[in-house]
Amino acid sequence: MTYMKETLAAYKEEHPELSHKESFAAVAALWGEADANPNKGKEKKARAPRTDKPKTAPKAKSTRGRKAKDEESGGDEEDIDDAEEEVAEKKEKTKSKPASKSKKVKKDEAVEEEDEEE
């Protein structure tokens, strides 16, 4: 088993009043000097200091990929308008088309019509 599983279970039995989060933090602190730790006794590696970057306002998200690309590349407003018109036309075309029926549905309807005629 792993160190954390074994030690955490034992630690929780010894300290039932502590929450899981508190128990986990305590066992994690013990890990530094545990015999199972392969880095025991070694110096900690130096970390680069954290530099806080200034926060910038989030970019506006666009649902239209082409429009966003045109805006980023400095495209003309006319190009964007044309693209929007194309999208609107495609939507209209798909709305006006009746949904096609599967072969099975068509066959079932034909059988029903034959039954009604008899």
Q: What is the pLDDT of residue 10?
A: 92
Q: Within 10 A of 7 (CB to CB), how many other CB atoms are there?
A: 19
Confidence of residue 108 (pLDDT cuts 50, 70, 90): confident
Region class of 41: left (phi > 0), else alpha (psi between -120 and 50), else beta: left
> Which candidate, 72, 70, 73, places its Cα nearest to that of 86?
70
pTM of the model: 0.36
Is the pLDDT confidence value at 88 over 70? yes
